[in-house]
């Protein structure tokens, strides 16, 4: 004789199970499962009986159980360097839009630009059996890479185009973007182009932007002057400091390329405070086309990066790997390019 109910103690109100639905509908649990997940494999009458039983009981499927049993989950893990950085939110939105449509859920965590923390998060996501990973950073611990490989979970890196990708990549090239903007400034006639970015420690995006800047200088036949390169932290004040420092050490500076929108705005404000013409005394260029830059006066020349598209494509590729087993995406590198937005500030 079957037990009427479990004697195990649980902290939650015991919710209705599939077997309760089955009993109520007078069918087996398999029919319930099929009616819910593969409706076409069930006769219409059964389907209706099951669905009304589901409603009457208020049954909510248990995804933990179904994932465990079917060995497939519907969660995707996303790791960003910093959650309160508006730059990523567009990408997150792109991911979220696509993922939700397919009934997947996003687990999000922040690494704080620390590869060891990233590794811990990857491990945590793997224990949660995410079916895919999205990593913004391209810098990982060897252990993290090894764990991912061992798990077999598909991965998209989407903050940069790494030299040695783990698996798939959907991004623009930070090197290329910085190179292009620097070339653009050079062609506009600027001769002493300063470069400001966030600290490049554990930040491959910053490093690649610096490299692109240097490559462009070389191409332009301009000397590289380390006094013109400044790394700093996020914030409008940092942008202001950059102007102060660079003008102090190299008075003949005539352009400032800020590899970060917040820095650029801070720099512009500082110039305005000093009563400098932008451009004129100094030109300013930014990175990322946030709405604000278009509305400032002078409007700020910048790079438009495909932030939303990166999220969207990342999600699509990941999902086709996960759902359709589309192996041809394995190792794909998608370079989504960017655009120079010429405005008044340079």
Partner DNA sequence: TTGTAGGCGTTATCAC
Partner DNA sequence: GTGATAACGCCTACAA
Find out whether 126 and 150 touch, Cβ atoms under 8 Å: no
CB 253 within 8 A of CB 276: no
Q: Is the peptide bond before 145 cis (omega within 30 degrees of 0)?
A: no
Token pair for 62: 């248990």
The reply on whether position 324 binds its own copies by CB under 8 A is no
Query: CA nearest 87: which of 246, 290, 286?
Result: 290
Q: Residue 6 or 152: which CB sits closer to DNA?
A: 6
- Select from its own copies, DNA, none the partner in contact with residue 89, using the beta carbon and a kind-dependent cut-off of 5 to 8 Å: its own copies
Q: How far apart are CA 12 and CA 120, in angstroms?
A: 29
319: which strand partners?
Answer: none
Does 51 participate in binding its own copies (rule CB under 8 A)? no
Partner in contact with 17, chosen from DNA, its own copies, none, beta carbon below 5 to 8 Å by kind: DNA
Using the contact rule CB under 7 A, the part of the chain among 27-35, 152-160, 299-307, 327-335 near DNA is 27-35
27 binds, among its own copies, DNA, none (CB under 5 to 8 A by kind): DNA
| Tokens 């470069």 -> residue | 195
Q: Is 183 helix (H, G, I), strand (E, B) or coil?
A: helix
Stretch that binds its own copies, among 174-182, 276-284, 291-299, 338-346 (CB under 8 A): 291-299
Question: How many Cβ atoms from other residues are within 10 Å of residue 84's Cβ?
Answer: 9
**Nearest Cα to 286, choosing from 302, 304, 269, 262?**
302
**Of these, 52, 55, 68, 297, which contacts DNA (CB under 7 A)?**
68
Please give the size of the binding site for DNA, defined by CB under 7 A.
33
Residue 76's binding partner, choosing from its own copies, DNA, none, with beta-carbon cut-off 5 to 8 A by kind?
Answer: none
CA geometry: angle 341, 345, 346, nearest 5 deg: 75
Round to whole Å and give the CA distance between 329 and 169.
10
Interface with its own copies, residue 337, by CB under 8 A = no
Which listed residue (48, 52, 57, 62) binds DNA by CB under 7 A? 62
With 0-12 CB in 10 A as exposed, 13-18 as middle and 19+ as buried, what is 285?
buried
Is residue 292 a contact point for its own copies (CB under 8 A)? yes
24 binds DNA (CB under 7 A): no
How far apart (Å, rounded) are the C-alpha atoms in residues 110 and 82? 5
Query: Which residue in 28, 86, 219, 233 binds its own copies (CB under 8 A)?
Result: 86
Residue 124 binding its own copies, by CB under 8 A: yes
Does residue 4 bind DNA (CB under 7 A)? Answer: no
Which tokens go with 183?
Answer: 């070339």
Taking a C-beta distance cutoff of 8 angstroms, is the pair 345, 183 a contact?
A: no
Stretch of 53-61, 157-165, 211-219, 244-252 contacting its own copies, by CB under 8 A: 53-61
Q: How many residues bind its own copies (CB under 8 A)?
A: 63
Applying CB under 8 A, among 29, 89, 200, 332 the residue interacting with its own copies is: 89
Interacting positions 118-177 with DNA (CB under 7 A): none
Using CB under 8 A, list all residues that contact its own copies: 8, 10-13, 15, 58, 60-65, 67-68, 71-73, 75, 83-86, 89-90, 92-93, 96, 100, 103, 105-110, 123-129, 147, 150-153, 235-237, 262, 265-266, 269, 272-273, 291-292, 295-297, 325
């Amino acid at each position: 004789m079957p037990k009427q109910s479990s004697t195990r103690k649980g902290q939650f109100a015991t919710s209705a199970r599939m077997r309760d639905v089955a009993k109520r509908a007078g069918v087996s649990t398999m029919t319930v499962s099929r009616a819910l997940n593969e409706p076409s494999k069930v006769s219409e009458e059964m389907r209706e009986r099951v669905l009304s039983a589901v409603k009457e009981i208020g049954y909510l499927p248990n995804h933990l159980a179904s994932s465990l049993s079917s060995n497939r989950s519907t969660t995707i893990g996303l790791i960003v360097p910093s959650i309160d950085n508006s730059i990523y939110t567009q990408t997150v939105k792109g991911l979220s839009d696509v993922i939700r449509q397919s009934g997947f859920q996003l687990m999000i965590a922040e690494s704080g630009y620390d590869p060891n923390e990233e590794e811990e998060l990857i491990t945590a996501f793997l224990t949660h059996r995410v079916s895919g990973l999205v990593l913004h950073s391209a810098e990982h611990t060897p252990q993290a890479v090894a764990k991912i490989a061992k798990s077999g979970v598909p991965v998209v890196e989407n903050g940069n185009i790494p030299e040695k990708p783990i698996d798939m990549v959907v991004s623009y090239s930070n090197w290329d973007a910085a190179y292009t903007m620097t070339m653009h400034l050079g062609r506009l006639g600027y001769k002493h182009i300063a470069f400001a970015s966030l600290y490049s420690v554990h930040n491959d995006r910053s490093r690649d932007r610096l490299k692109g800047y240097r490559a462009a200088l070389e191409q332009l036949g301009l000397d590289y002057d380390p006094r013109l390169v400044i790394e700093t932290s996020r914030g409008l004040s940092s942008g202001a400091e950059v102007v102060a420092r660079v003008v102090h050490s190299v008075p003949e500076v005539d352009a400032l390329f800020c590899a970060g929108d917040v820095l650029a705005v801070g720099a512009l404000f500082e110039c305005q405070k000093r009563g400098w013409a932008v451009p004129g005394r100094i030109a300013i260029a930014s990175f990322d086309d946030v709405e604000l830059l278009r509305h400032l006066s002078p409007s700020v020349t910048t790079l438009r990066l495909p932030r939303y598209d990166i999220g969207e494509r990342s999600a699509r590729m990941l999902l086709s790997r996960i759902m359709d087993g589309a192996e041809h995406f394995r190792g794909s590198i998608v370079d989504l390019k960017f655009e120079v937005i010429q405005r008044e500030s340079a």
